[in-house]
């Protein structure tokens, strides 16, 4: 297998030396404790995150890893690291059941909708991208698809077979968990014990090909009606679900890389199997830090289609779901997610989201107000000290295993000071103001990705900003016409704007406009 990895340029090293290098602690699922982050290559971070299986709309459960690993990436970049963020798209091999049977999730959707499987994949991939963009998540550096890496996956199966940790059975290839467990530890990541796993797994129909119920498929022979199939040395078939992440993470990040992230529900069997595949093929697990975000619950219950409490991101953004009292903006969802530590469960309720909405509003108001604050020569030293301490506390929290709720609570201390200065109850110096601006723009906007929705759109392609300027130019024309008592012209401008979907409203403070 050809492996690529990045190298440091001289320029990068200089940039790094200029940054104050901060120690970052990350909770490693593998060691079950916080560890100081030490990258494989100084100044570089290789991050792999398990992406969605694209057979349905993105839901709350996708928003959490999306936001968590986005903030992690933003933090590393802010601290001067170069990050390669790889997040895959699963478009083949994810079966309905974890025990290697049932239909392929994408093939099933394609059958029900009478579409080509790749039409299903394309449709839901684009919708997933759209939802992630609305949440202000930066796109990954590389987004590989499982179906585009069949050759690499076949090569990986061959390596595992050659090393004696897999066997062929009726055209399928299975990972031999018992054989692997003689020299390695299957269960090391999830804390499970192989004997318990075997006694808890029922042998199901169609599993006769396996030597043990704990074994898992590396390659599956396709049944005659199965559409998604590729030739291999064993059969026309398709790769097992866990295989793609082992193959693609090594291809793009190297045989040893820094961080592997994903939801806690993926820890077993998916990540346990990935780790076993890596070790069985290359003799080492390949990942330094395994990070797992916890789940989102709804009123204390797990979210699930069968439980009737399943909420897609689109429904949240539009309010179109019986569980929802109102629509919630993507930024409210982002803020809500950041208000809990990624390793804690996060319980969804209308009340909690409404509280997040209020908190976000307060913070965004302060990000505007801070720019207008008056400064004084004779600002007291204790306020300078307090503001400097807030900045330090925010960094400490973020570098302590990405503790965003604590960081936000310190940022709200900054908001409180902004409001006091605005109300004339506190005096600050120019330097204090700059620190507050740094906290409420660089940290809040750039690192936490919390920004007013229009700014997210404007940053997207600049269209919103241009649009705003153009409408204001036209409104100036109308103001001039009104001043000249040219009512015909002023009415025509109003009607022409309405015809293209811009509604204007005269208020006592001037003219307001909205898009229809
Ligand atoms: Zn994965």
Q: Is residue 308 part of a domain?
A: no
pLDDT band at 103 (very low <50, low <70, confident <90, very high): confident
Closest CA to 336 of 314, 309, 363, 315: 363
Predicted pLDDT of residue 452: 85
- Average the pLDDT over 284-296 and give the result: 96
Closest CA to 391 of 428, 328, 434: 434
Ligand 1 centroid–CA 252 distance in Å is 14
**Cis? peptide before 451, omega within 30° of 0:** no
Q: Which of 187-201, 276-290, 299-313, 434-448 has the lowest mean pLDDT?
A: 299-313
Give the Cα separation of 229 and 490 in Å (integer): 65
Instruction: Identify the three-state secondary structure at position 404.
Output: helix
What angle do helix axes 350-369 and 404-422 make, rounded to 10 degrees?
Answer: 50
pLDDT at 15 over 50: no
For 253-276, write each residue's pLDDT tens digit: 999 999 999 999 999 999 999 999
pLDDT at 298 over 80: yes
Give the Cα separation of 76 and 59 in Å (integer): 26
Ligand 1 centroid–CA 288 distance in Å is 16
Q: Are residues 181 and 257 in the same domain?
A: yes
For residue 414, what is the domain's CATH number?
Answer: 1.10.730.10
Share of the chain above pLDDT 90, in %: 75
Q: Are residues 200 and 216 in the same domain?
A: yes
- Average the pLDDT over 53-57 and give the result: 91
pLDDT at 80 over 70: yes
Give the Cα separation of 316 and 301 in Å (integer): 18
Q: Are residues 42 and 124 in the same domain?
A: yes
Give the Cα separation of 418 and 434 in Å (integer): 12
Predicted pLDDT of residue 101: 77
Closest CA to 144 of 99, 92, 195: 92
Query: Could you tell me what percentage of the chain is helix, strand and coil, using 3-state DSSP and rounding each to the nearest 5?
Result: 50, 15, 35
Q: Is residue 10 part of a domain?
A: no
Ligand 1 centroid–CA 243 distance in Å is 8
Number of domains in the chain: 3
Predicted pLDDT of residue 464: 67
pLDDT at 380 over 90: yes
Q: Give me the residues near ligand 1 (ion), CB cutoff below 5 Å.
A: 50, 245
Sheet with 237-239: list strands edge to edge: 166-169, 172-175, 216-221, 237-239
Ligand 1 centroid–CA 270 distance in Å is 6
pLDDT at 193 over 70: yes
Ligand 1 centroid–CA 52 distance in Å is 9
For residue 221, what is the domain's CATH number?
Answer: 3.40.50.620
CB 399, CB 25: distance < 8 Å: yes
pLDDT at 136 over 90: yes
Predicted pLDDT of residue 455: 65
Ligand 1 centroid–CA 163 distance in Å is 23
Q: Which of 34-38, 278-282, 488-492 has the lowest mean pLDDT?
A: 488-492
Residue listed under structure tokens 């093929």:
281
pLDDT at 290 over 90: yes
Predicted pLDDT of residue 504: 87
Ligand 1 centroid–CA 287 distance in Å is 13
Predicted pLDDT of residue 453: 75
- Pick the most confident of 29-33, 110-114, 462-466: 29-33
Ligand 1 centroid–CA 62 distance in Å is 14
Instruction: State the CB neighbour count (10 A cutoff) for residue 20.
Output: 8
Q: Are residues 103 and 249 in the same domain?
A: yes
pLDDT at 1 over 50: no
Predicted pLDDT of residue 508: 75
Q: Is residue 359 part of a domain?
A: yes
Give the Cα separation of 463 and 53 in Å (integer): 32
Q: Is residue 466 part of a domain?
A: yes
Ligand 1 centroid–CA 251 distance in Å is 14
pLDDT band at 8 (very low <50, low <70, confident <90, very high): very low
Ligand 1 centroid–CA 423 distance in Å is 51
Q: Is residue 328 part of a domain?
A: yes
pTM: 0.85
Q: Tell which of 438, 454, 470 closes a domain.
A: 454
Ligand 1 centroid–CA 133 distance in Å is 21
Ligand 1 centroid–CA 48 distance in Å is 9
Q: Tell which of 421, 438, 454 closes a domain.
A: 454
Ligand 1 centroid–CA 57 distance in Å is 18
Q: Are residues 425 and 384 in the same domain?
A: yes
Helices in 19-138 by DSSP H: which ranges? 60-78, 105-113, 117-134
Ligand 1 centroid–CA 146 distance in Å is 10
Q: Is residue 213 part of a domain?
A: yes
Ligand 1 centroid–CA 92 distance in Å is 12
Q: Are residues 177 and 265 in the same domain?
A: yes
Buried b (16+ CB within 10 A) or exposed e, 121-160: bebbbebbeebbebbbbbebbeebbbbebbebbbebbbbb
Give the Cα separation of 291 and 36 in Å (integer): 13
DSSP characters over 266-285: GIIIIIHHHHHHHHHHHSS-
Q: Are residues 390 and 511 in the same domain?
A: no
Torsion of CA 438, 440, 442, 446, to 10 degrees: 180
Q: Are residues 231 and 335 in the same domain?
A: no
Q: Tell which of 405, 436, 454 closes a domain.
A: 454
pLDDT band at 150 (very low <50, low <70, confident <90, very high): very high
Q: Is residue 202 part of a domain?
A: yes
Q: Is residue 304 part of a domain?
A: no
Ligand 1 centroid–CA 103 distance in Å is 19
Q: Are residues 408 and 490 in the same domain?
A: no
Q: Which of 181-190, 193-202, 425-434 has the lowest mean pLDDT?
A: 193-202
Ligand 1 centroid–CA 154 distance in Å is 17
How high does pLDDT run on average in the chain?
Answer: 91
Residue 357's domain comprises 313-454
Q: Are residues 28 and 143 in the same domain?
A: yes
Q: Are residues 483 and 432 in the same domain?
A: no
Q: Are residues 350 and 216 in the same domain?
A: no
């Amino acid at each position: 297998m050809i492996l690529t990895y990045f190298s440091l340029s001289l320029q990068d090293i200089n940039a790094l030396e200029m940054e104050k290098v901060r120690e970052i602690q990350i909770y490693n699922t593998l060691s079950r404790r916080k560890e100081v982050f030490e990258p494989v290559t100084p100044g570089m971070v290789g991050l792999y995150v398990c992406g969605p299986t694209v057979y349905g709309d993105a839901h709350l459960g996708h928003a959490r890893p999306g936001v968590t690993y986005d903030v992690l990436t933003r933090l590393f970049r802010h601290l001067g690291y170069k990050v390669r963020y790889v997040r895959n798209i699963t478009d083949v091999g994810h079966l309905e059941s974890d025990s290697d049977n049932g239909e392929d999730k994408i093939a099933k959707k394609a059958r029900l909708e009478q579409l080509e499987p790749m039409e299903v994949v394309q449709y839901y991939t684009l919708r997933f991208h759209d939802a992630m963009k609305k949440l202000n998540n930066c796109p990954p550096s590389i987004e590989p698809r499982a179906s585009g890496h069949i050759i690499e996956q076949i090569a990986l199966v061959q390596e595992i077979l050659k090393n004696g940790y897999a066997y062929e059975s009726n055209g399928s290839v299975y990972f031999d968990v018992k054989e692997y467990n003689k020299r390695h530890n299957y269960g090391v990541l999830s804390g499970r014990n192989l004997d318990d796993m075997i006694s808890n797994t029922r042998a199901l129909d169609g599993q006769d090909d396996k030597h043990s119920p704990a074994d898992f498929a590396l390659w599956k022979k396709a049944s005659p009606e199965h559409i998604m199939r590729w030739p291999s040395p064993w059969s026309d078939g398709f790769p097992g679900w866990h295989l793609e992440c082992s193959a693609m993470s090594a291809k793009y990040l190297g045989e040893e890389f820094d961080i592997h992230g994903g939801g806690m529900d993926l820890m077993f069997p998916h990540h346990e199997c990935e780790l076993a595949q890596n070790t069985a093929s290359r003799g080492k697990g390949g990942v330094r830090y395994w990070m797992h975000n916890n789940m989102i619950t709804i009123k204390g219950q797990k979210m699930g289609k069968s439980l009737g409490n399943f909420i897609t991101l689109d429904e949240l953004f539009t309010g179109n779901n019986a569980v929802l009292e109102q629509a919630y903006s993507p930024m409210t969802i982002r803020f809500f997610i950041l208000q809990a530590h990624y390793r804690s469960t996060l319980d969804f309720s209308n009340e909690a989201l409404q509280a997040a909405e209020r908190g976000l509003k307060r913070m965004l108001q302060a990000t505007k107000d801070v720019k207008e604050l008056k400064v004084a020569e004779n600002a007291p030293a204790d306020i300078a000290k307090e503001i400097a301490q807030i900045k330090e506390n925010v960094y400490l929290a973020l570098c302590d295993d990405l503790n965003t709720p604590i960081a936000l609570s310190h940022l709200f201390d900054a908001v409180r000071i902004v409001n006091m200065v605005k109300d004339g109850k506190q005096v600050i110096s120019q330097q204090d103001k700059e620190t507050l601006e740094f906290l409420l723009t660089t940290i809040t906007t750039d690192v936490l990705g919390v920004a007013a929705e229009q700014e997210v759109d404007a940053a997207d392609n600049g269209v919103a900003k241009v649009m705003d300027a153009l409408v204001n130019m036209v409104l100036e024309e109308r103001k001039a016409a009104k001043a000249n008592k040219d009512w015909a012209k002023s009415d025509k401008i109003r009607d022409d704007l309405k015809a293209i979907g811009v509604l204007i409203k005269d208020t006592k403070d001037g003219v307001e406009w909205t898009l229809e």
